[in-house]
Amino acid sequence: MANALTRRSLLGATALGFFGLQSLASRNRARAAEPDAVTIGWPQDVPSWDPNQRFVPDAQPIFKMVFDQPLDQDPKLKLIPNVVKSWELAADARSLPIELREDVVFHNGDKMTTADFRYTFFERIKAGHKVDIANSWRKVTDIEIVSPTKAVMHFDSPAPTAPQWLAFLGSYVVPKDYMEKTGVDGFRDKPIGSGPYRLAEYELNARIVLERNDAYWGQKAKMRRVTFEIIKDPSARVAATQSGEVDLTISVPVREVQRLKNEPNLDGELNPITRVILLQVRDDLGFADQNVRLAAHHAIDKKALSQAFYGGAAVPLSVPATPGTAAYLDDYRFSYDPELAKQLLAKSGYSIEKPAKFTFASTNGNFPSDYDIARALVQMWKKVGIEADLEVIEYAKYFELNRGAKLPEATLYSFDNATGDPEIFAGYLLNPKMPFSAWKGMEIGQRAIDLFNVANYDERVAGYKTLNKDAVESGASIPLLQSVQTLVRKKNLTYTRYENGWVRADTMAWG
């Protein structure tokens, strides 16, 4: 009798628990989409609500919704007016007159003037605010205010990419009066921009809710409300998309994109973007010999890498630039030629029996398939007579080694450049004066340094085109693939695709 009672109690408790759970539960699958709201699963939170503070590429599509940049880019990355309606870089690139629109208003009703522009790109930096734009705008000596809508930026040396930087990382106009009143900390807690959305709600590492700014000077967004759910784990992002908790997400594994494409209400995309997967190389130690560098490059089957790890969507690259950008060479190909690689190595006395040796570093999980690519490269090199000692490094360790000029001979890296401008691709990668550049050889390096001071755009681009080819042919640069952005969305959610991977909520619509 005691046992029966216990069994009955247990069954009763289980039934109660189940029905209790049901009463707490709600069905999430195929949650009915509100016609004017969208939920986006995003891999990273913003570092802070001061948009000038940190250069974080993943935060830019969110910042662009709340704040305005002086200039913008169209989907093909052509520089276009934004709150700055006209600009003209001087012939010597030492000044940049700009003219603001007259109808731009911050979310608190204050009109945007050149005082705000000067405050953002000059006064804040001079006041010692800890902002990353202090690095990108270090050449600014003054911003001369001509009128509430006209100003002139003055530089201490040629700044040929100043217009590009007005549409790049961290360059958002912040309201001077409001920031001075609230202080930087107060601004971060209650940010004010002039963008198509205002910040309605924010929880650190959890959620960002934006409400449409109906007083926006530009085209009104179709979505009244945009919610970014911060979901850092890629598996959780996949699950959230599949369950319908989010309407769109990015940066999910390639194989998941291919799987989710088969779901009836989802679409998966592998979009090539202006991000280069490459090897940052040194000009000394095991890579002092040009033959070894070139052999290492000729031994890499980039098509196979793309097929194996990106479903064939990643475009093999022969120069450190992506198709469609200014200094990309449409007709130039660096050949995959293992036999040539062996010949080059033989010239320097190396062979499969007596391989060339160097250390090769790679992160694991920093970008999709990084470690897999690294292991594949090691095998490809082995077949021609190169023995690479693969070292896995943490993301934080990469920065320590890179900035301290201690990277090994070759390091696998993924480099983003939303502008597509060649200075930020080849210029940064090959300028030996920049700690970021692993390459310190002056023959190629001096040419990169010189191009930083070329004012004329066409001349500059032509210079980079030649530099790109020469850098590759001397082994100073080993580009591999154009990176792809993985994106999964509900089939009836449309958006405008940008070649730099921006996913802009203000272009989204249900249709």
By CB under 8 A, name the binding residues for other proteins.
2, 6, 10, 21-22, 24-29, 39, 41, 45, 47-48, 50, 53-55, 130, 132, 135-136, 169, 185, 188, 201, 203-207, 209, 227, 229-233, 235-236, 239-240, 242-245, 394-397, 399-400, 402-404, 428, 433-436
Residue at token pair 């939920």: 39
- Closest approach, Cβ 154 to other proteins, in A, equals 20
Q: In whole angstroms, give the CA distance from residue 191 to residue 180.
A: 12
In the complex, least distance from residue 394 CB atom to other proteins, rounded to whole angstroms: 8
301 conformational bin, left if phi > 0, alpha if psi -120 to 50, beta if neither? beta
Q: What is the dihedral of CA 6, 11, 17, 21, to 10 degrees?
A: 170
CA atoms within 13 A on the CB side of 155: 22
Q: Give me the least distance between CB of 104 and other proteins, in Å please.
A: 27
* Alpha-carbon gap, residue 97 to 75, rounded angstroms: 25
Question: Distance between CA atoms of 162 and 74, rounded to whole angstroms?
Answer: 18
Pairwise CA distance, residues 283 & 407, whole Å: 11
Q: Which is nearer to other proteins, 210 or 305 (CB)?
A: 210
How many Å apart are CA 107 and CA 402, to the nearest integer?
41
Least distance between other proteins and beta carbon 138 (Å) = 8
DSSP class of 288 = -
Cβ 354 vs Cβ 461: under 8 Å = no
By beta-carbon proximity to other proteins, the closer residue of 184 and 300 is 184
**CB-wise, 147 or 243, nearer to other proteins?**
243
Could you report how far apart the first and last alpha carbons of the chain are, in Å? 64
Nearer to other proteins, 91 or 396 (CB): 396
Question: Helix or strand or coil: residue 67?
Answer: coil
**Helix or strand (DSSP H, E) at 400:** helix 395-403
Residue 356 or residue 424: which is nearer to other proteins going by CB? 424
Q: How far is the CB of 21 from other proteins (least distance, A)?
A: 7
Q: What six digits make up the tokens of 138?
A: 């270090």
Residue closer to other proteins by CB (options 104, 231) is: 231
Q: Mention every residue, 6+ apart, whose C-beta is less than 8 A from residue 71.
A: 79, 80, 81, 82, 84, 87, 163, 166, 167
Of 54 and 382, the one with the shorter C-beta distance to other proteins is 54
Shortest gap between Cβ of 282 and other proteins (angstroms)? Answer: 17
Supply the minimum distance, in Å, between the C-beta of residue 238 and other proteins. 9
| Shortest Å distance, C-beta 399 to other proteins | 4
Which lies closer to other proteins via its Cβ, residue 31 or residue 85? 31
